[in-house]
Structure 1
Amino acid sequence: MDELMEVFPEAPSAEEYNALRIAAGLSPKDLAGARIGLAHSVHIVTLRSDDGQLVGMGRIIGDGGCFYHIVDIAVHPSRQGRGYGKLIMKALMDYLDATAHPGSYVSLIADVPADQLYRKFGFDYTQPKSVGMYRRY
């Protein structure tokens, strides 16, 4: 990393969230839905530049007891390739290591090549025993 970047346990605004998702190549979300989703997250971390701009984020959703799902790992393209995704994942995993109950199930959906980052944190593929599925509205 070429600059010191600190992880903050705070939610971005819905507008910042959407702007980062779009910049990072993720799909935009409805702003009303984003506000609800961000408010109901189990844990959120953000990275901000010196001038306060949202540079990266990640969050954990779920029931806070048995099931956790890691989502929204995103780093602005101007800052990608500098280890910020790893920094975000480490902060999320530190939270889970400190709070997740024995037997908890932590899942994520990995886009290739980001799956290689997640493998470094102990995640493995579910196939052939199970496969990820989704339905979009």
Structure 2
Amino acid sequence: MEDIIIVDNKLQPEDFIRLRLEAGFMETPMEQAEKALSNGLFTASAMCGDKIVGMGRLIGDGSMYWYIQDVAVMPAYQGRGIGKAIVTRLISYAEANSLPGSKASIGLSPPRGKNPFMKKWDLQSTPTIQAEPE
């Protein structure tokens, strides 16, 4: 099996569009993809060699509200724990970047048919996270 690594903030608009299409999401125009990525807070991408095979993004205010969006893994790479690794990285980033001692919420709107995958993290009800005090 090929090695997969998770990298931060490497997602490019072309990969964003390609992965969304391969995962069955609606088509996204280039200009919209560029703006969405530039306005987001953080991305986690799964790399196999030099190819991005999975992605996820965090959007929100970067303090109280974090939202996981666009978690997608190429069909040929699904079932290997890549989506779980991406979501875990996104949650870790939100926890590490919330204000110390504060409470924050992480939410998501899973795509149709993906509720069982997302329920593993119990994020469908926008849980509160507690940032560690400094």
Bucket of the pairwise TM-score, normalised by the shorter protein: 0.7 to 0.9
Structure with more of its chain in strand, by fraction: 2
- 1:64 and 1:125, CA in 2 relative to 1: closer, same or farther beyond 3 A? closer
Return the TM-score normalized by structure 1: 0.81
Give me the whole-angstrom Cα distance separating, in 2, the residues matched to 1:107 and 1:125: 7
Residues 65-84 of structure 1: matches in 2 within 5 Å?
65-84=63-82
Instruction: Give the corresponding residue for 2:120.
Output: 120
Instruction: Give the corresponding residue for 2:37.
Output: 38
Structure 1: runs of 5 or more not aligned? 127-137
Alignment-mate amino acid for residue 22 of structure 1: L
Give me the whole-angstrom Cα distance separating, in 2, the residues matched to 1:72 and 1:124: 14
Structure 2: runs of 5 or more not aligned? 127-134
Instruction: Give the corresponding residue for 2:109.
Output: 109
After TM superposition, give the deviation of residue 11 of structure 1 in Å: 3.3
Give me the whole-angstrom Cα distance separating, in 2, the residues matched to 1:125 and 1:9: 26
Q: Aligned residues, how many?
A: 124
After TM superposition, give the deviation of residue 112 of structure 1 in Å: 4.8
Could you report, residue by residue, the CA deviation over 1:31-74 in whole angstroms, capped at 9, with x for unpaired residues?
Answer: 11111111121110111211x11100000001111111110100
The two structures, once aligned, show a CA RMSD in angstroms of: 1.7
After TM superposition, give the deviation of residue 10 of structure 1 in Å: 1.8
Return the TM-score normalized by structure 2: 0.83
Instruction: Give the corresponding residue for 1:129.
Output: none
Could you report, residue by residue, the CA deviation over 1:68-127 in whole angstroms, capped at 9, with x for unpaired residues?
Answer: 11101000011111111111111111111212242222211123542223222232447x
Give me the whole-angstrom Cα distance separating, in 2, the residues matched to 1:18 and 1:112: 18
Residues 9-28 of structure 1: matches in 2 within 5 Å?
9-28=8-27
